Chains A and B, each alone.
Chain A
């Protein structure tokens, strides 16, 4: 996976004047924008791997913005989705949030409101991607451990000392120390605290 350098905002609205003007406005804070006039084309083609957010108009001919929202969420799209609407009812707003919208804004939308919502959404997306990525690399490293190393890790996380681990596993303390050094190297940790923070959950889940 190779995330692009700067976040990309996807803007879907059937009205060209609205599309162009909002794209210009979003561009003034340095965010890149890709505009889409056809929600179906957007669903089929947009880059799901990129960092960014989605701005979606509720009222569009053919396929409603709320339907698009449902489909994106069902497909596991993780970019935050901001809904825009001309005349939003409380019911519509409630539905959008229930379906997983990150924000619900009324047209005509004020610049501060939209740009703040977008920057907040992008920050959230970056954080969540980083978390997912960290989780993934932790899982990858954990998978490289030997059976014995996993046992030792489980006991370290449980708070046992080297001596206690050696006794429990019928090993020499020196062997345990070697395992421990290998663990820190393989899991790319510099301290016990880091090891526990990153791998406690994995070790507990893997424990028999």
Chain B
């Protein structure tokens, strides 16, 4: 068997280096893609969790409230109905009836105290804090970024022309949650439409002292009888819907000195208008 010593110089250094570099780049690129996907997943999760936490807290609050209010209401009803019966007797039992009414009054105060306690509990001390300049376009972009896979999956085409930045004063997380909720609602409304008619359009503009974000969809629109109750808590037109998305969004918007409304003049589909105070108009 013939043997030959290979000198270091003779090895294909360039080829080997090129190969190593290519593998390294590939691996690096794959890692980056994975990290990006992970980051998006995490951001989505966070937003969803925030929402769920808010909704859970609301659900528990509602159940606790129901019991706390039911007790005084039960006592009030029983006392007043007993009083009515006592007064209808021949001769009327005035003394006992009077006592029953006094107790009913006491219970009405107890119910009012429950409501006051609830309001104190949900009034956060920081509810007027945490405002910063945000471009409405940025909020739309990040909400769209999170929901991009969902839009693609449902075959919904989204048109959004950013234009010049409209800067408002808002809590960026709350703002993103509102846009997210509006987008989710639009996506769900479009489920009933044939795939080629599933469109969402988002426009951002400054109107007077307010920055406006208008989100329109080509869905079935809002029934006339649903319109007045649209922002009521626990009102939903969707089966199994909690009915808190829009009510929550509306209270977030008004907490920031803005408003959320449905445009009833729209001919087809649904249109929601979110208004927030423009940065330039707000005294620093």
Q: Which residues of A contact B (CB under 8 A)?
A: 15, 17-18, 20-22, 24-25, 27-29, 59, 86-87, 107-111
Which of chain A's residues has its CB closest to B70's CB? A86
Which of chain B's residues has its CB closest to A14's CB? B71
- How many whole Å from A57's CB to the nearest CB in chain B? 9
Please, how many angstroms separate the alpha-carbon atoms of A15 and B103 in the complex? 14
Contact of B82 with A17 in the complex, beta carbons under 8 Å: no
What are the residues of chain B within 8 A of A17 when measuring CB–CB? 71-72, 75, 103, 106-107, 110
B76, B77, B100: which contacts A110 (Cβ < 8 A)? Answer: B77
Q: Does chain A have a CB within 8 A of B275?
A: no
What are the residues of chain B within 8 A of A107 when measuring CB–CB? 70-71, 73-74
30 cross-chain CB contacts under 8 A: A15-B71, A15-B75, A17-B71, A17-B72, A17-B103, A17-B106, A17-B110, A18-B74, A20-B75, A21-B74, A21-B76, A21-B100, A22-B78, A24-B82, A24-B96, A24-B100, A25-B78, A25-B79, A25-B82, A27-B82, A28-B82, A86-B67, A86-B70, A87-B63, A87-B66, A87-B67, A107-B73, A108-B77, A111-B81, A111-B85
- How many whole Å from A20's CB to the nearest CB in chain B? 7
Contact of A24 with B79 in the complex, beta carbons under 8 Å: yes
Please, how many angstroms separate the alpha-carbon atoms of A87 and B68 in the complex? 11
Contact of B75 with A21 in the complex, beta carbons under 8 Å: yes
Q: Does chain A have a CB within 8 A of B134?
A: no
Q: Does chain A have a CB within 8 A of B259?
A: no
Which of chain A's residues has its CB closest to B110's CB? A17
B66, B70, B82: which contacts A21 (Cβ < 8 A)? Answer: B82
Interface residues of B in 105-134 (CB under 8 A from A): 106-107, 110
Contacts A25-B78, A108-B70 given; 18 further ones with Cβ under 8 A? A17-B72, A18-B71, A20-B75, A21-B74, A21-B78, A21-B104, A24-B96, A25-B81, A27-B82, A28-B82, A28-B85, A29-B85, A86-B71, A87-B66, A87-B67, A108-B73, A108-B74, A108-B77
What are the residues of chain B within 8 A of A87 when measuring CB–CB? 63, 66-67, 70
Contact of A111 with B78 in the complex, beta carbons under 8 Å: yes
- How many whole Å from A11's CB to the nearest CB in chain B? 11
Q: Does chain A have a CB within 8 A of B86?
A: yes
Please, how many angstroms separate the alpha-carbon atoms of A52 and B73 in the complex? 26
Give the number of A-B contacts (CB < 8 Å): 72
* Nearest 7 pairs of A and B residues by beta carbon: A21-B78, A111-B81, A86-B70, A17-B75, A108-B74, A25-B82, A21-B75
Please, how many angstroms separate the alpha-carbon atoms of A22 and B66 in the complex? 19
Indicate the size class of the contact surface on chain B: 20 to 34
A18, A29, A59, A86: which contacts B78 (Cβ < 8 A)? Answer: A18
Please, how many angstroms separate the alpha-carbon atoms of A109 and B80 in the complex? 12
Residue among B71, B73, B85 facing the most chain A CB atoms (10 A cut-off): B71
What are the residues of chain B within 8 A of A109 when measuring CB–CB? 74, 77-78
- How many whole Å from B267's CB to the nearest CB in chain A? 42
Please, how many angstroms separate the alpha-carbon atoms of A185 and B107 in the complex? 63
Please, how many angstroms separate the alpha-carbon atoms of A107 and B75 in the complex? 9
What are the residues of chain A within 8 A of B100 when measuring CB–CB? 21, 24
- How many whole Å from B202's CB to the nearest CB in chain A? 41
What are the residues of chain A within 8 A of B96 when measuring CB–CB? 24
What are the residues of chain B within 8 A of A111 when measuring CB–CB? 77-78, 81-82, 85
Contact of B74 with A22 in the complex, beta carbons under 8 Å: yes
A20, A27, A108: which contacts B76 (Cβ < 8 A)? Answer: A108
What are the residues of chain B within 8 A of A86 when measuring CB–CB? 66-67, 70-71
- How many whole Å from B160's CB to the nearest CB in chain A? 44
Please, how many angstroms separate the alpha-carbon atoms of A109 and B82 in the complex? 12
Give a binary string over B92-106; 1 marks a CB under 8 Å from any A CB, 0 the rest: 000010001001101
B66, B70, B103: which contacts A20 (Cβ < 8 A)? Answer: B103
- How many whole Å from B107's CB to the nearest CB in chain A? 6
Please, how many angstroms separate the alpha-carbon atoms of A17 and B111 in the complex? 12
What are the residues of chain A within 8 A of B79 when measuring CB–CB? 21, 24-25
Please, how many angstroms separate the alpha-carbon atoms of A25 and B71 in the complex? 15
Which of chain B's residues has its CB closest to A29's CB? B85
Please, how many angstroms separate the alpha-carbon atoms of A20 and B77 in the complex? 12
